[in-house]
Amino acid sequence: MGQQGRGRTAVAVSVIGVICAVTVVGATAGPAFASPAPDPASTPFPYSSSSAPPGSASPPGSADGGTTSSPDTALEAVRAKLDALYHDAAVATDAYNAAEEKADKQSAAIGVLDRRIEAARVRLADLKDRAGAAARAQYRGGGLPPEARLMLSEDPGQFLDGAGLARQGEHAADGLLTELARTRRELKRDAEDAEDRWQKLEQGRKQKAAAKKRVERQIAAAKQLASRLEKKEKERLAELERAAAHRAQTAWLGSGVLDEIRGRASERGRKAVAFATAQLGKPYVWGAEGPASYDCSGLTSQAWAAAGVPVPRTSQEQWRQLPHVDIRDMRPGDLIIYFDDASHVGIYVGDGLVLHAPRPGRTVTTAGAGTMPILGVVRPDAK
């Protein structure tokens, strides 16, 4: 056996060991990509590990006419497993971000209710004091009927003047009691609302903690899996990733979709793209929304916030709430939502490229917009 043959055998043995470890990691593997072209290192499109080209073909033959080599087949299985782990981590990250956003809103609402409750308590105490004063004044009047007080009065005119004032006082007392009852009702309602929101806040905190554990578990499993690869295997894996991304982008461009995209960025869209571009090279950190690091939806939400347009925090809510546009009407600044579960998002920058925060271990970068399966396109400034 020659030197090259011995090297390939060593790689195969090492990767087969990783494949055995893959079955222990515990996440469902996603679809494997097709095997690479002969020279994948020359491909111009960067890869996102969450990529999965639509309609992947079966592995092409090797240079000598046989099937794909065993090491590459094994590495494809490793890459599919890594994709699945990071995809699950992205889904859990969206759940974490959604729970965090809900918790922030609940906390803000509770703060408003607390201030209203305190103001109602102060007003209620004041009303009680005023009602008590009115009751004491009535008691000091002796409780005699008006006819008796008129007969006993030494100055009937003065009595009649006082009777008018007394009627005004009675009306004021009625109003006082009505306001007192209304304030009590408002205080009771706000207190019940605050209690309900506290319960929802606690529920959201539990959801957030559970999502955090899922994210950390999936990322740890992915790192453990990658750590079992030798240096040459990691390099070859990177080549396979670039080749898969290149094939997916080529297929997407080959559909002619880019020929029909003529949209120009709006003023706010240009600002969003400029902000996102300024973040190139910053690390992906799940749950982060800048300024030092981002996850995918943290980047897109902050980019549009910088353009003066607030958008939902998560990619799933961006897909659900923002206006959808046909991909052929896409323009720079629009958000491209990826995967059937809307678990990834990037901002379209033109020329068939998307800018995004890929996944843990990567940095904010550009990639071919077609290197991942596109769910659809949304436009934050469509209104």
Q: What amino acid positions are annotated as catalytic residues?
A: 296, 344, 356
Tokens of 112: 């408003």
- Tell me the two tokens of residue 274: 């400029």
Is 264 in a helix, a strand, or coil? Answer: coil
Q: Are 99 and 107 in contact (CB under 8 A)?
A: no
Q: Which residues contact 199 (CB under 8 A, 6 or more apart)?
A: none
283 vs 135: CA distance, rounded Å: 70
Cα separation of 156 and 380, whole Å? 77
- Give whole-number Cα distances, 179 to 127, 171, 185, 199, in Å: 8, 12, 10, 30
Two tokens, residue 87: 């995809």
As to burial, measured by CB atoms within 10 angstroms (0-12 exposed, 13-18 middle, 19+ buried), residue 72 is: buried
Which neighbouring-strand residues pair with 378? 324, 335
Choose among 284, 290, 287: nearest CA to 304. 290
**Owner of token pair 């030092």:** 292
Residue pair 319/300 in contact (Cβ under 8 Å)? The answer is no
Q: Which residues of 1-27 are buried (b: 16+ CB within 10 A; e: fewer)?
A: eeeeeeebeebbebbeebbeebeebeb
Handedness of CA 60, 65, 66, 70 (dihedral sign): negative
Q: How far is CA 251 from the centre of its chain?
A: 30
Evaluate whether 346 touches 336 at the Cβ level (below 8 Å): yes
Unique residue bearing structure tokens 């590990």? 49
- Element (DSSP H or E) covering residue 17: helix 3-25
